[in-house]
Amino acid sequence: MGVLFEDAPSPKMRYVMDLMQSSLDESAPTQLMLPRGAGKTTATEALLLYLLLYGKRKFVVIVSANARSATNILRDIWRVIQDTDTPIAQDFPEVCLPYSLVGGATRRRQLFNGTSTDLQHTNTDLVFPRLKDEHGGEYPTSGSVLTVRGITSGIRGLKRNALRPDCVLLDDL
């Protein structure tokens, strides 16, 4: 299933997500503490998708309590991105469709108008396809990177091509 929220978020969760969004839009550090099971990780996943899909950030790093939790976050995002029958796929076909066309096998070389889309998906990284629109300009999502790490993993020196992280989200540390 390619959705993060099974049901509509509660008013409290909407408030939390609005607070997180304004914090990220303004690059203002914010700490949110909610009880266990309140949906913090799901809200974080939704917000990182917002940042990447709208081109507000190009390289997001999620640091979670351990490597397994971090991998689960990436798995949730991957599940949403590769499903072509969701509102996200309809709004952002330039991200979702290339993954669907290769059937999840991102090692396969995929070309679009003669240029490699540079798709990547591993246990710790997801690189959005590099595509150009009909006017020759890159989509805001082109080449965007999501990297996940456990709290004990090294993050120093992270880079992908010429990109360095421009946002770090800490989840359940």
What does DSSP assign to residue 49? Answer: H
pLDDT tens digits, one per residue of 47-86: 888 888 988 889 999 898 888 988 998 898 888 888 878 8
Residue 45 phi/psi, 5-degree rounding, is: -60, -45
**Residue listed under structure tokens 């360095």:** 164
CA 13 to each of CA 113, 134, 139, 171: distance values in angstroms, whole numbers, following the listed order? 42, 38, 30, 16
pLDDT tens digits, one per residue of 7-19: 777 788 788 888 8
Instruction: Tokens for 43, please give them.
Output: 């809200």
pTM over 0.85, yes/no = no
Q: In sequence order, what are the residues at sequence separation of 6 or more whose Cβ sits closer than 8 angstroms to the Cβ of residue 106?
A: 99, 119, 120, 121
Query: Both ends of the chain: CA-CA distance in Å?
Result: 27
Measured N-to-C along each axis, helices 40-53 and 11-25 cross at an angle, to the nearest 10 degrees, of 40
pLDDT of residue 1: 39
pLDDT tens digits, one per residue of 21-35: 888 777 777 777 777
Maximum CA pair distance of the chain?
Answer: 50
Average of per-residue pLDDT across 154-159: 77
pLDDT tens digits, one per residue of 76-126: 888 888 887 888 888 888 888 887 777 766 666 777 767 777 888 888 898
**Residue listed under structure tokens 């150009």:** 132
